[in-house]
């Protein structure tokens, strides 16, 4: 994995944990997630956990995988909502006569 991806993931993890100090205690969880699932899937885990307002990586690192499944489900739920929001914005602009 390249350093840019790793730094981006570390930044997301620090945001999730709330501080650099707390992230340092949980950094091994992030490293293990990246090794097992790759950077793309790990980013989805982190973004899903942020949407669920989690403040720790420990649920993502659980052995049973429940936390990862929950975070991934929440990520995709949010991701799939986005196109409909864009579509409704286009409809609103047309209704207001700003776009033909």
Q: How many CA atoms lie within 13 A of 83 on its CB side?
A: 3
What stretches of 52-100 show up as alpha helix (H) in DSSP?
66-95
- pLDDT for res 87: 64
- pLDDT for res 88: 73
- Residue 91: pLDDT band with limits 50, 70, 90: confident
- Residue 95: pLDDT band with limits 50, 70, 90: confident
List pLDDT tens digits, range 53-72: 999 999 998 889 999 999 99
- Residue 37: pLDDT band with limits 50, 70, 90: very high
Averaged pLDDT, 70-86: 82
Q: Is the pLDDT assigned to residue 82 strictly greater than 80?
A: no
Decide which of 93 and 75 is more confident. 75
- pLDDT for res 90: 77
Question: Could you tell me the residue ranges of all domains in the chain?
Answer: 3-95
**Structure token pair of residue 27:** 């950094």
């Amino acid at each position: 994995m390249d350093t840019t991806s790793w730094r981006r993931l570390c930044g997301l993890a620090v945001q999730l944990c709330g501080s650099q100090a707390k992230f340092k205690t949980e950094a091994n969880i992030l490293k293990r997630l990246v090794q097992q699932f790759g950077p793309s899937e790990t980013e989805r885990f982190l973004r899903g956990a942020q949407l669920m307002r989690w403040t720790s990586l420990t649920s993502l690192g659980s052995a049973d995988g429940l936390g990862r499944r929950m975070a991934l489900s929440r990520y995709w739920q949010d991701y799939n909502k986005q196109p409909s929001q864009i579509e409704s914005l286009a409809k609103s602009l047309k209704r207001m006569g700003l776009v033909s």
